[in-house]
Amino acid sequence: MGPSTLFDRVVSALFGRDGSQADDAVERQLVADMTELVVETVDPRIRLQSRYADKLEGCVRKTIAHLRSIGGQPLDPLLLSRAAWSGDPRLNAYFASADEVPAFLGRSKELREFFRVPSNREAGEAFALLAMKREERTVLGVQQHGDRVQHDVPLATVSFSGHRLFAPSATADATRLEVGRRIIRRLAQLALKRIVDLDMKAAELGERKAWLAARLRLVKLAVDGAAGLLEDTTETRSQIAAIERELKETVHDYIETKAGVATLDAFIKHIDAVFSHPEQQVSLQRTPVRLSRMGVRVDGDHPGPLNEFVMTELAIGEGVDVVIAIVRCPLAEMPPEEDLLSKAERFI
């Protein structure tokens, strides 16, 4: 079975419509497929280690359970259109104006490539994954309490930037699977990063060890050579002692680091460290949000219109969060390509 077929099977089982708990035989096959997918993605040499599948089974089962909980969360498609901007609270919050919506669609090269396929163009719309950064700031503003207006009040504002569109597809289900693929790749990336980082550390320690050894030889030659007949070597001998201590510590760190990356057992331990705690690496959170039309966070009563919606945020570790949504992209909303070119020429 090829890697792409294996990937498709795992992702469909966890993020497809039938991603619920399966019977024992099907579940065992999923664990086996997931194990092979992880090994193939991180380092296929792990298969040379005896009983590697048994050693990884526990962490793989934990990851499957976590990903299944993510895959079961609702991701209702959001229609990206100029007309929907004023009435849809998510769209109104994510884009500063109605005109930004078609302009954003028009900038997507992937979306234009998708609609160049005749069958996709006939369908008239695409589904895709929208990703954005959420930015929160505190500003001084005006707040009204009944008939009283208060100035210089600290207000929490929420804005969205860096909009990007990924993986246009013919169906929302296909886009859900793309979310799953990216989550699994992220976990594999984190496991491989641990291995690569240790390998780089070992290389740096190896270079440091070689430099210190050369430095030690140089200083010893200064003491034992002709220069030692004319100079007081007390300070130089102190240098030798300090270099020898540092060299000893560096050799110890090098051996320890090299042992942590050079064996297949070490590879398995790094995978286990990530896949045993998938919730610490990747999570999908749905958070109720109440914002004014100016992007100010609202906790209590507010006199004006509000954007109240549930925000879906994908946390991918290391303090990195991205707001995501599955979106519908109508072909009719995309400006003609020549319009974009003419607008660009104005700034040249």
Q: What angle is formed at CA 134 by the lines to CA 132 and CA 139, rounded to 5 degrees? A: 145
Residue 339 has pLDDT above 70, yes or no: no
Tokens 């699977």 sit at which residue?
Answer: 177
Whole-number pLDDT of residue 152: 60
Rounded-to-integer distance, Cα 19 and Cα 232, Å: 78
User: Please, are residues 185 and 41 in contact by the beta-carbon 8 Å criterion?
Assistant: yes
Residue 261 has pLDDT above 70, yes or no: no
Most confidently modeled of 58-62, 265-269, 282-286?
58-62
Of residues 108 and 300, more confidently modeled: 108
pLDDT band at 322 (very low <50, low <70, confident <90, very high): very high
Residues paired with residue 127 on neighbouring β-strands, in sequence order: 169, 328
Residue 19 has pLDDT above 60, yes or no: no
Residue 297 DSSP one-character state: B
Q: Convert the pLDDT of each residue in 302-311 to its tens digit.
A: 667 889 999 9
Rounded-to-integer distance, Cα 192 and Cα 39, Å: 10
Residue 91 has pLDDT above 60, yes or no: yes
Of residues 276 and 226, more confidently modeled: 276
SS3 279: helix
Q: Convert the pLDDT of each residue in 99-129 to its tens digit.
A: 999 999 999 999 999 999 999 999 999 999 9
Tokens 């099907």 sit at which residue?
Answer: 26
User: Please, are residues 7 and 181 in contact by the beta-carbon 8 Å criterion?
Assistant: yes
Q: Convert the pLDDT of each residue in 179-194 to its tens digit.
A: 899 899 999 999 988 8
Residues paired with residue 323 on neighbouring β-strands, in sequence order: 132, 313
Cα separations in angstroms, 170 against 113, 121, 126, 182 = 13, 10, 5, 18
Most confidently modeled of 41-45, 91-95, 215-219, 300-304?
91-95
Of residues 264 and 317, more confidently modeled: 264
Of residues 3 and 289, more confidently modeled: 289
Whole-number pLDDT of residue 153: 67
Rounded-to-integer distance, Cα 240 and Cα 144, Å: 73
Of residues 124 and 231, more confidently modeled: 124
pTM of the predicted structure, to 2 decimals: 0.74
Q: Which conformational region is residue 309 in: left (phi greater than 0), alpha (psi within -120 to 50 degrees), or beta? A: beta
Residue 318 has pLDDT above 90, yes or no: no
Whole-number pLDDT of residue 229: 45
* Mean pLDDT estimate for the chain: 85
Whole-number pLDDT of residue 77: 93
Residue 163 has pLDDT above 80, yes or no: yes
Whole-number pLDDT of residue 37: 94
User: Please, are residues 138 and 155 in contact by the beta-carbon 8 Å criterion?
Assistant: yes
Whole-number pLDDT of residue 74: 85
Cα dihedral 67/73/79/84 (nearest 10) = -140
